[in-house]
Amino acid sequence: MHAHAHAHAYMPPNHHHDALLWMAPLLSGGGYSSESLGFALGLHNLTRLDGGLMAGVRQFGEPQDESFVEGLPKALIPPLRHLFGAGASQDAASGVVVCHSTPDAWVPSKFEGWDELEPCPPPTAAVSVGRTMFETDSVPREWVERCSRMDEVWVPTHFHAEAFAAAGVPRERLFVIGEPVDTAFFRPGRLKPMRLPPLPPPSTPPSTPTPPPPPPPPSGVSPELSPPPADPTPPLVGPTPPPPFRFLSVFKWEARKGWDALLAAYFSEFGADEPVELVIKTRPFYSSGDFETLVEAPAAECTVIVKTSIRSHFAT
Q: Can you tell me the distance from the alpha carbon of 140 to that of 89, in angstroms, rounded to the nearest whole number?
A: 34
Give me the DSSP letters along 75-92.
GGHHHHHHHHHHHTSGGG
Question: Which strand (E) or helix (H) includes residue 145?
Answer: helix 141-148
Output the average pLDDT for the chain: 80
Asked if 125 and 146 count as a contact pair (C-beta separation under 8 A), the reply is no
Question: Which strand (E) or helix (H) includes residue 109?
Answer: none
Q: Which long-range contacts (CB under 8 A, 24 or more apart) does 235-238 make?
A: 237/205, 237/206, 237/208, 238/205
Q: Can you tell me the distance from the alpha carbon of 169 to that of 166, in angstroms, rounded to the nearest whole number?
A: 7
pLDDT value of position 226: 57
Q: C-alpha distances in angstroms, 301 versus 42, 174, 207, 278? A: 48, 46, 37, 12
Tell me whether residue 146 is exposed, middle or buried, using C-beta atoms within 10 angstroms of its C-beta: 0 to 12, 13 to 18, 19 or more: buried
Asked if 47 and 85 count as a contact pair (C-beta separation under 8 A), the reply is no
Q: Report residue 290's pLDDT band, with 50, 70 and 90 as the boundaries.
A: confident
**In this predicted structure, which of 70-74, 174-178, 211-215 has the lowest mean pLDDT?**
211-215
- 17-57 pLDDT, tens digit each: 678 999 999 999 888 999 999 999 998 988 876 677 789 99
Residue 254, classed as helix, strand or coil, is: coil
* Overall average pLDDT of the 145-173 stretch: 97
pLDDT value of position 7: 36
Q: Where are the domains of the chain?
A: 19-176, 245-315
Q: Report residue 155's pLDDT band, with 50, 70 and 90 as the boundaries.
A: very high
Of 95-109, 199-213, 215-229, 236-250, highest mean pLDDT: 95-109
- 78-123 pLDDT, tens digit each: 999 999 999 998 889 999 999 999 999 999 999 888 888 899 999 9
Q: Which residue has the higher pLDDT, 205 or 98?
A: 98
Residue 166 has pLDDT above 90, yes or no: yes
307 forms bridges with which residues in the sheet?
A: 281
Q: At 158, give phi and psi (nearest 5°).
A: -65, -30
What is the number of other CB atoms lying within 10 angstroms of the CB of residue 25? Answer: 25
Q: Can you tell me the distance from the alpha carbon of 94 to that of 117, in angstroms, rounded to the nearest whole number?
A: 17
Q: Can you tell me the distance from the alpha carbon of 240 to that of 196, in angstroms, rounded to the nearest whole number?
A: 23
Residue 314 has pLDDT above 70, yes or no: no
> What architecture does CATH give domain 19-176?
3-Layer(aba) Sandwich (3.40)
Residue 2 has pLDDT above 50, yes or no: no
Q: Can you tell me the distance from the alpha carbon of 26 to that of 99, in angstroms, rounded to the nearest whole number?
A: 12
Q: Can you tell me the distance from the alpha carbon of 169 to that of 145, in angstroms, rounded to the nearest whole number?
A: 8
Q: Can you tell me the distance from the alpha carbon of 187 to that of 39, in angstroms, rounded to the nearest whole number?
A: 18
Residue 229 has pLDDT above 90, yes or no: no
Amino acid at 229: P
Question: Which strand (E) or helix (H) includes residue 154?
Answer: strand 152-155
* Overall average pLDDT of the 170-190 stretch: 89
Supply the DSSP symbol for 255: G
Percent of the chain with pLDDT over 70: 73
Q: Which residue has the higher pLDDT, 85 or 195?
A: 85
pLDDT value of position 59: 96
Q: Report residue 16's pLDDT band, with 50, 70 and 90 as the boundaries.
A: low
Asked if 139 and 103 count as a contact pair (C-beta separation under 8 A), the reply is no
